[in-house]
Structure 1
Amino acid sequence: MAKAAGTASPRERYRSQVRAEIKERAWEQIADAGASALSLNAIAKRMGMSGPALYRYFGSRDELITELIRDAYRGLADTVGANARDGADLPELGHVLRRWALEDPHRYLLIFGTPVPGYHAPEDVTAISQEIMSALLDASAKLPDDSPEAAGPGPGDPSSPDSPGSPDVDFEQHIEAHRQWAGDHPATPVELHRALSFWTRVHGVLSLELSGHFSGMGFDPATLFEAELAALLRR
């Protein structure tokens, strides 16, 4: 009798289980010493396997890192996408990102922290990250264009957003000319700028928080995060 579609053989199930355990041990190693110290031989020893036996499941350290990065991005993209479909606005998506990062900081830092020396992610990883940016661009497009401007120079000031040559106008012209990162999303220059500002501010605060740079400074990082989101909405 032919094997039913979608039914894995015992060999395939075993292989899947071993690969899952290898990834679990890899995350433990990353938590202990960082991604740059990841060692397949150390994982094999921890699992009671020989190095050559483990290489039958992941052909190289980079292949394993790619799988971990792909899983991390997939988890974040699915989380952001589900909340966006449920109607979450841009600030709410900011809190979604922060909760995801705090629940598993090592996954967050693997994809948004210090790059692993000598490692280059394949293109399909970039495609998954594009799903996250598309959700942020959709949320950015839902905000009103007449949001009150943040306190700053008046209309007569050369640096005012209403004045020719202002930094905001110049950057929005630049970002419109270099919008490849947004894929085929029909966002306006203002929406592109807003989403990119959101992306950089959110990850700037989160990366500093998760790396411990706020320790001993005496303020609540959650309050700073909230203030950054509010500042973005005042633009």
Structure 2
Amino acid sequence: MTPTAGPTTPRERYRAQVRTEIKEHAWQQIATAGASALSLNAIARQMGMSGPALYRYFANRDDLITELIRDAYRSFADTARAAADAGADLAALAHTLRDWALVDPHRYLLIYGTPVPGYHAPDDITGIAAEIMAVLLDASSALPSDGTATPLDAHLADHRQWAGEHPAPPAAMRRALAFWTRLHGVLSLELAGHFGGMGFDPAQLFAAEVDGLLAG
């Protein structure tokens, strides 16, 4: 990713600082009441600002949610790419996903949990998400194939739009999708608290799922 230039003038630096503070308050609200309850007016009161003053930084609730989602996806994409560049294989990438999510579960759940009612993400969000899938496709393609074709392989060979221009063969696409869906399923259940009181270590379950996917 090409780094973008940061704010250079005092006015730009102040604006960036205020936007960062607004987002910090937004994350606190999300942690307390969920993204659907996000209120710019409440944030303005917490910051000692008027509502109209805050709207100079974010036009509306959806504008703020978009920024939070974009930040979360960018953080995850950069984390996945850094791990891959350091030599992480598919199993290591799976554990990188879990580690990233556990650091801030609300950030993970905002992008992979229940959609915010009435919110529609802009197209560039899909582009950042595609970067994450590209890392998984790279790692999946690096694994040896057993040469066995499945009906899903044949289907994916003709329906590969989701993979963009990545040259991964159908078997690698199938493996990447299996990792993506099954591991997100386990992780989402863990972060939503559904394993609480069951008496087992979620990390062990996640690791077993990774091993099972690699063996399959």
TM range (shorter): over 0.9
Q: Give the whole-Å Cα distance in 2 for the aligned partners of 1:14 and 1:87.
A: 39
2:59 — aligned with what?
59
2:144 — aligned with what?
144
Match of 1:76, SS state, is: helix
Q: Does 1:211 align with 2:192?
A: yes
- Residue 9 of structure 1 deviates from its aligned partner by 1.3
Q: Give the whole-Å Cα distance in 2 for the aligned partners of 1:221 and 1:115.
A: 24
Query: Number of paired residues?
Result: 212
What is the TM-score with the length of structure 1 in the denominator?
0.88
- AA aligned opposite 1:114: T
1:157 — aligned with what?
none
Residues 32-87 of structure 1: CA deviation (Å, up to 9, x unaligned)? 00000000000001000011110000001000000000000000000000010111
What is the TM-score with the length of structure 2 in the denominator?
0.95
Unaligned runs of 5+ in 1: 148-161, 163-167
Q: Give the whole-Å Cα distance in 1 for the aligned partners of 2:168 and 2:36.
A: 37
- Residue 175 of structure 1 deviates from its aligned partner by 1.6
1:106 — aligned with what?
106
- AA aligned opposite 1:81: R
1:220 — aligned with what?
201
1:20 — aligned with what?
20
Matches within 5 A, 1:1-16: 8-16=8-16
- AA aligned opposite 1:130: A
Higher helix share: 2
- Residue 144 of structure 1 deviates from its aligned partner by 1.0
Runs (4+) off by over 6 Å: none
- AA aligned opposite 1:8: T
- Residue 6 of structure 1 deviates from its aligned partner by 6.5
Q: Does 1:85 align with 2:52?
A: no
- Residue 123 of structure 1 deviates from its aligned partner by 0.6
- Residue 146 of structure 1 deviates from its aligned partner by 2.9
Q: Does 1:181 align with 2:162?
A: yes
Q: Give the whole-Å Cα distance in 1 for the aligned partners of 2:31 and 2:7.
A: 34
Q: Give the whole-Å Cα distance in 1 for the aligned partners of 2:192 and 2:179.
A: 20
Unaligned runs of 5+ in 2: none
Flag the 1:6–1:20 CA change in 2: closer, same or farther, 3 A.
closer
Q: Give the whole-Å Cα distance in 1 for the aligned partners of 2:180 and 2:41.
A: 37
- AA aligned opposite 1:206: L
Q: Give the whole-Å Cα distance in 1 for the aligned partners of 2:107 and 2:160.
A: 28
Aligned residues of 2:183 and 2:206 also touching (Cα < 8 A): yes
Q: Give the whole-Å Cα distance in 2 for the aligned partners of 1:176 and 1:218.
A: 42
Equivalent pairs: percent with the same residue?
A: 69
- AA aligned opposite 2:150: V
Match of 1:187, SS state, is: coil
- 2:150 pairs, out of 146, 149, 169, with 169
Match of 1:22, SS state, is: helix
Q: Give the whole-Å Cα distance in 2 for the aligned partners of 1:22 and 1:8.
A: 20
RMSD: 1.4
Matches within 5 A, 1:121-140: 121-140=121-140
Flag the 1:17–1:193 CA change in 2: closer, same or farther, 3 A.
same
